[in-house]
Structure 1
Amino acid sequence: MSIQDIIEGKKQWRAHLARVKALPPDYQIVYKEMQKYLFKVGPVSLLDESLLPGIVDFFEEGVAEGKGVLELVGSDVAAFCDDLIKDSPTYADAYQESMGGGSGTTRK
């Protein structure tokens, strides 16, 4: 990764955060909780793909339609996040595999 890539990544992240700050306060709170949860669970593709920007797109559409944030995600935000990443490998999965999950050996 070059210096230019890092600078471009920072610009994109700052633009993303500006979009989050433009959301209504209740949307911002739910977004931050989702972000915290997703960073904790650790889907491998979190930063490589458009998961977080996609959530902001989804929220912006909800705001435009005049919907409340809980109308969009439901009352269980963690379950909503789990549904978003259900087919994505997590760092915990990768760790389990590295600890011998894929080798076919049994430990005693």
Structure 2
Amino acid sequence: MNFWETITGSDITRDWKAFDARAATLPADYRAAWEEIKGHVSLYSDFTGRNLIPILDGALGLLEETAAEGQSVGEVLGDDIPGFCAALAGEAGGRSYRDRWREQLNRNVARKLGRLGG
């Protein structure tokens, strides 16, 4: 990855297009699961989203392998896709960007109130 790709994010765009091309070859129920996985995993993104590329690559690889073996989506992912995505992102209780923003907001408010009240 060169400087220009880092600044513009063109490397991420290229990876997303490759993922979409790979996902297009999956059966319909697997494509629906892929879309749901993308939505849930995005909650664990950093500022650029680059941390998601290896996670999504692994998830799509799993879907491709199990579809080729003829397994159903339910057998592979179970009924809890958000839980599956949380486990992929690190741990079942992994913090999302919303959690980090909430904590930052709470710290800022507490700091401001501390200054005003003290």
* TM-score > 0.5 by shorter chain: yes
Distance 1:6 1:84, change over 3 A: closer
Question: Any unmatched runs of 5+ in structure 2?
Answer: none
For CA contacts below 8 A with separation 6 or more, give which structure has more relative contact order: 1
Q: Which runs of 5+ in 1 are unaligned?
A: none
SS at match of 1:64: helix
Matches within 5 A, 1:10-89: 10-39=13-42, 42-45=43-46, 47-49=49-51, 50-87=54-91, 88-89=94-95
Q: Is the 8 A contact 1:73 1:80 kept in 2?
A: yes
* C-alpha distance in structure 2 between counterparts of 1:35 and 1:6, whole Å: 18
Structure of higher CA gyration radius: 2
- Tell me how many residue pairs correspond in the alignment: 106
Alpha-carbon distance between aligned partners in 1 of 2:50 and 2:12, rounded to the nearest angstrom: 11
Measure, in 2, the Cα distance between the counterparts of 1:34 and 1:16: 12
Aligned to 2:4: 2
**Range 4-13 or range 61-70, more displaced:** 4-13
Provide the aligned C-alpha RMSD in A.
3.0
- Output the TM-score relative to the length of structure 1: 0.75
Q: What stretches of structure 1 move > 4 A for 4+ residues in a row?
A: none
> In 2 relative to 1, CA 38–66 (structure 1 residues): closer, same or farther, beyond 3 Å?
same
1:6 and 1:48, CA in 2 relative to 1: closer, same or farther beyond 3 A? Answer: closer
Structure-2-length-normalised TM-score = 0.69
